[in-house]
Copies of this chain bind each other. A is one copy, B any other.
Amino acid sequence: MRFIPSDTLRELITMPEAITAMQSAFSALSDGSAVVPLRTTLDFPGSDARALIMPAYHSSSRYFTTKIVTVCPTNAARHLPLIHGTLIVTDGSTGKTLALMDAEWITALRTGAASGLATEWMALPDAHTLGVFGTGAQAYEQVRGVMSVRKLTRIIIFGRDPQKTTTFCKTVSNQFAIPCFPAQAPQEVSQCDILCCATNAHNPVFEDKYLTHGTHINGIGAFKPAMREIPSATIARARIIVDQRASAWREAGDLILAQKDGVVAEDCIAGEIGEVVTHKTSGRISREQITIFKSVGNAIQDNVIASMAYERALKAGIGTEI
Binding site for B on A (CB under 8 A): 1, 3, 5, 35, 37-38, 40-47, 49, 51, 53, 55, 57, 59, 64, 66, 68, 70-72, 75, 78, 80, 83-86, 88, 90, 92-97, 100, 320, 322
Contact = CB atoms under 8 A, between A and B. Distances in A.
A86 B86 CA distance: 12
A92 B322 contact: no
A37 B41 contact: yes
A43 B56 CA distance: 10
Contact of A90 (B5, B70, B90, B95): B70
A49 B92 contact: yes
Count of this chain's copies in the oligomeric assembly? 2
Contacts of A92: 44, 49
Nearest to A51: B64
B40 A55 contact: yes
A81 to B, nearest CB: 8
A49 B93 contact: yes
A72 B95 contact: yes
A212 to B, nearest CB: 39
A64 B44 contact: yes
Contacts of A90: 51, 68, 70, 84, 86
A320 B322 CA distance: 9
A200 to B, nearest CB: 14
A64 B70 contact: yes
A93 to B, nearest CB: 7
A100 B68 CA distance: 12
Contact of A66 (B1, B44, B68, B93): B68
B44 A35 contact: yes
A297 to B, nearest CB: 17
Contacts of A320: 322
A320 B72 CA distance: 26
A104 to B, nearest CB: 10
Contacts of A35: 42-45
A71 B92 CA distance: 10
A225 B45 CA distance: 32
B42 A55 contact: yes
Given A53-B66, A68-B66, A72-B93, A322 B86 contact: no
Contact of A322 (B71, B72, B322): B322
Nearest to A82: B95
A46 to B, nearest CB: 7
Given A37-B42, A45-B35, A64-B51, A97 B72 contact: no
Contact of A95 (B5, B38, B53, B75): B75
A32 B199 CA distance: 34
Contacts of A75: 94-95
A38 B45 CA distance: 17
A42 B71 contact: no
